[in-house]
C-alpha cells in the first residue's frame, strides 16, 4: 500500500458544470433512473438495475470501496439541475504502483455534451496533483467509441489492444488500453 496517499475525507471536486461528490442514500432514485436502462450498462460488467434496492446497494458498495481505500467512486452532479447523472471512479489509487484505473457511466439523456470528458480531466488533476499518482489508465471495448473518445479528449494516449481481456455478460471482450503519465500531465500543463 502507498500509505501516505490514503484519504481520510472524501475528496469533492468541482468543474465548471459539475460537482464530483460522495454518493449519499438520497441518490438512489437518480442512479436508478439511468442504471435501469439497458444502453447504459451495455458495455459494463454489471446488469441494469431492476429495483431501487440495486441502486442503494451500489451506494453502500461505493462507501465501502472508499473506506477500504480500494477506489473512489464520485457521483457526477450537474450543478445547474442539482441532479446526479452518473458516476466516475478511480480504482487501485492506493496501490504500490501509484497507478489508478478510471471507469465511468452517465445517463443516456446527457450523452455527447462533453460531461464525462470534463469530469475525467478533473479526476486527472486530482490524481496527479493531490494523490501523486504516476499513471492513470482506462480501457474500454474497442466498439465503445464514445468511451475511447472520452479518453482521448482527456489527454490519454492509446497503448494497444488487449485481446479477449475481460468477460462481460458471458462474452470475452477485446479492450483498447489508454493511459496518461504524470510526466505527460506536467508537460501539457506547461504548453
Ligand atoms: C461513453 C460515455 C461515458 C461517454 O460520455 P459523454 O459524456 O457522452 O462523452 P463526451 O460528451 O465527453 O464525449 C467525448 C467525445 O466522444 C464523442 N462521443 C460520445 N459518445 C459517442 C458515441 N456513442 N459514438 C461516437 N462518439 C461519441 C463525443 O462526440 C465527443 O467527441 P467530440 O468532442 O469530437 O464531439 C457515455 O456514453 C456512457 O455513459 N456510456 C455508457 C457507459 C459506458 O460505456 N462507460 C464506459 C465503459 S468503459
At a CB cut-off of 8 Å and minimum separation 6, what does 173 contact?
Answer: 141, 164, 165, 166, 167
Strand 83-91, strand 13-14: pairing: unpaired
Indicate which residue's Cα is closest to atom 18 of ligand 1.
Answer: 146
Q: How far apart are CA 188 and CA 61, in angstroms?
A: 35
Pocket of ligand 1 contains residue 43 by CB under 6 Å: yes
Supply φ then ψ for residue 177, to 5 degrees. -105, 135
The pLDDT tens digits along the chain (191 residues) read 444 457 889 999 999 999 999 999 999 999 999 999 999 999 999 999 999 999 999 999 999 999 999 999 999 999 999 999 999 999 999 889 999 999 999 999 999 999 999 999 999 999 999 999 999 999 999 999 999 999 999 999 999 999 999 999 999 999 999 999 999 999 986 65
For 3-190, CATH number out of 3.40.630.30, 3.40.50.300, 3.30.200.210, 3.40.50.10140 equals: 3.40.630.30
Pocket of ligand 1 contains residue 102 by CB under 6 Å: no
Please report, for the chain, the start and end positions of each structural domain, with discontinuous segments joined by +: 3-190
The continuous run of DSSP H or E covering 83 comes out as strand 83-91
Pocket of ligand 1 contains residue 140 by CB under 6 Å: yes
Joined together, the cell numbers standing for residue 95 give: 496501490
Indicate which residue's Cα is closest to atom 45 of ligand 1.
Answer: 105
Q: What is the largest CA-CA distance in the chain?
A: 48
Q: Give 112 Cα–ligand 1 centroid separation in angstroms.
A: 6
At a CB cut-off of 8 Å and minimum separation 6, what does 20 contact?
Answer: 12, 13, 14, 74, 75, 76, 77, 88, 119, 122, 123
- Report pTM: 0.96
Q: How far apart are CA 12 and CA 18, in angstroms?
A: 11
51 with 104: CB under 8 angstroms?
A: no
Amino acid at each position: 500500500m502507498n500509505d501516505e496517499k490514503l484519504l481520510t475525507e472524501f475528496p469533492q471536486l468541482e468543474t465548471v458544470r459539475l460537482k464530483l461528490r460522495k454518493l449519499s442514500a438520497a441518490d438512489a432514485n437518480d442512479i436508478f433512473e439511468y442504471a435501469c436502462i439497458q444502453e447504459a450498462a451495455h458495455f459494463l460488467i454489471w446488469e441494469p438495475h431492476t429495483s431501487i434496492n440495486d441502486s442503494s446497494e451500489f451506494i453502500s458498495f461505493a462507501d465501502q470501496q472508499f473506506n477500504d481505500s480500494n477506489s473512489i467512486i464520485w457521483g457526477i452532479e450537474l450543478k445547474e439541475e442539482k441532479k446526479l447523472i452518473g458516476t466516475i471512479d478511480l480504482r487501485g489509487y492506493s496501490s504500490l504502483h501509484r497507478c489508478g484505473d478510471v471507469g465511468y457511466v452517465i445517463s443516456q439523456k446527457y450523452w455527447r455534451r462533453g460531461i464525462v470528458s470534463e469530469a475525467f480531466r478533473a479526476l486527472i488533476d486530482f490524481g496527479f496533483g493531490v494523490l501523486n499518482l504516476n499513471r492513470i489508465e482506462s480501457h474500454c471495448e474497442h466498439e465503445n467509441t464514445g468511451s475511447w473518445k472520452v479518453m482521448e479528449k482527456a489527454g490519454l494516449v492509446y497503448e494497444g489492444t488487449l485481446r479477449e481481456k475481460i468477460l462481460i455478460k458471458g462474452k470475452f471482450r477485446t479492450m483498447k488500453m489508454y493511459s496518461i503519465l504524470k510526466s505527460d500531465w506536467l508537460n501539457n500543463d506547461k504548453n
